[in-house]
Structure 1
Amino acid sequence: MKGLGKLIWRFVKLFVIFFVGVTVFWVIFYRFINPPVTWLMLTRGFEQKADSKPWKIDKDWRDFDDIADQMKRAAVAAEDATFLENHGFDFHAIEKAIQKNSRSRKLIGGSTISQQTAKNVFLWPGRSWIRKGFEAYFTLLIEVFWSKRRIMEVYLNVIEMGDGIYGIQAASQHYYHKDASQLTKSQAAAIASIFPLPLKWSPTNPNKRVARKQYLIRQNMRRLGPLDF
């Protein structure tokens, strides 16, 4: 039994070393190379085929400097007001999410932009505590190996913004027929307002809830100080 225990322990150590090595390399690789596709994009594509719809992954990468500053402000105002100050986690938001989860069967997140980027780029769609654990791990890695500028760039290029629409350039073209560099404050706030439910909400045809979110995001954008990326 002792020999078997040692063998198992050795296997576990080797697996952990292998896992950490591969994931760290993966994160560093994406620091310099843009992610070509995400699990969510592929999942949505298969869902479209299952519904007898054409496969659609509409995306067009834009570098950080080619995205309107108003869009970056809108993303921070809508999703993570402390983005530039936190280290990937907003513990106040996490505490609130835990309190809500204790009263509901539905798992509610308190995710920062870094956490959302980690799950969008490296993980599969879904909600579970196991996935949250991996999300925290990859969040720590991108906070260590990426800059906030890179996190925001990747975030705005891979996030789902409609049916088969991913990234700010595709969204900008689809909803406003313009380049992502030309988005106005109102348009940026409108796009940011649909981040939670991009398949159900529209920035150009908002319901009352979305219109309210757009107003609040514009107000928050005014309150934000300079964003020094």
Structure 2
Amino acid sequence: MKKARLKEKPEPLKRRIRRWLLGALGVIVALPVVLTLLYSVVPPYSSLMLYRSVTGQPVWREWVPLEQITVNLQRSVVVSEDAKFCQNFGVDWSAVQGQVEKLMAGKRPRGASTITMQLAKNLFLWNGRDYVRKALEVPLAFMLDAILSKRRILEIYLNVAEWGPGIFGVEAASQTFFGKSAAKLSLSQAALLATALPNPVARNPAKPSSGHRRLASINRSRAQVAGDVLSCISATER
């Protein structure tokens, strides 16, 4: 008599769930890496741009290479958003430590995001102020800095940053607020655009409030004495 074939026991439900979760986690971890490799050659969309498109809201973005963005704007944005852009590896740990100390002291932390961290948020995360998103920005910023050149990071950031509802990237912002291309922005206009970034919905570079004008004036003065904050980008690429 032939021995009856033993029936294989079904895989326990807990094991199947664990295997599925590990697979999903692997995809979540790998996806930003794959997308970043793609973004090294392809102009990306930000998560907010995608959300607006999916929900039927207008999106205006005209991609321009970094050499078609005036150095005035490049310098103003770096001075305003991340003065150590060329020195850090995606995260400014001294700034992060200062904000953690404020938090531990019961004060409200603010700032500490580098341009690379902001790009990580724009490409992969969501808007809003919460510590979960901030924590996710750190490894994503390291990953971006490891894969992309500083030139490409700045180029993408300037092309996906929000400058107003539905207005993304410096070319769309320049055309909207000043009626000219990003290559022809003056020092004053560049400073107004750069200082609008922390609050693009409330700050209109074409009709700046007195407070906005003051911030732009400070930015312009700092940019003039900041030295070569674009040292990691060769002069031929600017």
TM range (shorter): 0.7 to 0.9
| Deviation by residue 1:147-195 (Cα, 9 ceiling, x = unmatched) | 0000000000000001211100001001111111111111111100100
Match of 1:148 among 150, 153, 158: 150
> Is the 1:39–1:125 Cα contact (8 Å) retained in structure 2?
no
How far apart are the structure 2 equivalents of 1:24 and 1:122? 11
Q: CA RMSD in A?
A: 2.4
The DSSP-based 3-state class of the residue aligned with 1:32 is coil
1:86 positional shift: 0.6
Match of 2:110 among 100, 108, 111: 108
Match of 2:75 among 73, 81, 86: 73
> Is the 1:107–1:128 Cα contact (8 Å) retained in structure 2?
no
How far apart are the structure 1 equivalents of 2:27 and 2:206? 47
Match of 1:39 among 32, 47, 54: 47
Match of 1:23 among 7, 32, 57: 32
How far apart are the structure 2 equivalents of 1:43 and 1:22? 18
Matched pairs, number: 219
Q: 1:31 to 1:59 in 2, by over 3 A?
A: same
Could you say which residue in structure 1 is the equivalent of 2:186? 184
Bigger helix share: 1
Q: Give, as a single letter, the amino acid of the residue that structure 2 aligns with 1:40.
A: L
Is 1:124 the counterpart of 2:126 in the alignment? yes
Could you say which residue in structure 2 is the equivalent of 1:173? 175
| Deviation by residue 1:66-113 (Cα, 9 ceiling, x = unmatched) | 111111101111111000111111122212322444435x66341000
Structure label with greater radius of gyration: 2
1:225 positional shift: 1.7
Q: 1:44 to 1:110 in 2, by over 3 A?
A: farther
TM-score by length of 1: 0.85
Q: Structure 1 vs Structure 2: percent identity of aligned residues? A: 34
> Is the 2:32–2:124 Cα contact (8 Å) retained in structure 1?
no
